[in-house]
Each structure stands twice: as C-alpha cells, then as structure tokens.
Amino acid sequence: MESAGSFELSGHTFTCYLPSSDAEPQEWTIIVTRDGETVRRETIPLLYRPIFGPDVGDCAARDYRVEQIIKELGLE
C-alpha cells in the first residue's frame, strides 16, 4: 500500500492508501488513528485500477465513506 493522502481532525489522523501493485487487493484502505492507536480500519473496493491515480468515482466513494466515519466517531 502507498499513502494517497492524510489529514487531521480533532486529534484523529485519517490516512487513505491505494494498492502499490496489481498483486494487492484493488481497494482503498482508510485508517484512522489517535495517539498512535488505530481507531478504525476499513476498505472500499476500487471500481478501476489506479494506473495514473485513482478514478474520480473512486475518490468520491472514499470521500463519502470518510465523511460517514467522521459522523460515526462524533467528530463533526
């Protein structure tokens, strides 16, 4: 996996990862940490292989799920 970006919100760090090769599962991995501990780890299937980066539809699915996680954790 390779990092595709991260941000911090209310002491939590959200990091999204993409597969670094075709041998890895073709999915987003979203990891939320706080104080070095994993709070949440989820995967979302990719619709398209990220040859030149993620597809806009795959980014929208990732963003939607991250927004849901923020609400579920009460960080809004």
Residues in Cβ contact with 73 at an 8 Å cutoff, skipping those fewer than 6 apart: 12, 32, 39, 40
Residues in Cβ contact with 6 at an 8 Å cutoff, skipping those fewer than 6 apart: 13, 14, 15, 16
C-beta neighbour count of 54 within 10 angstroms: 20
Number of domains the chain contains: 1
Q: How far from chain centre, in Å, is Cα 75?
A: 16
Q: Which residue is listed with tokens 């670094």? A: 20
Instruction: Render pLDDT for 25-54 as a digit per residue (tens, 0 to 9).
Output: 999 999 999 999 999 999 999 999 988 889
Query: Which range of residues forms the domain containing residue 59?
Result: 2-72
- Alpha carbon distance 52, 32 (integer Å): 25
- pTM over cut 0.85: yes
pLDDT at 51: 86
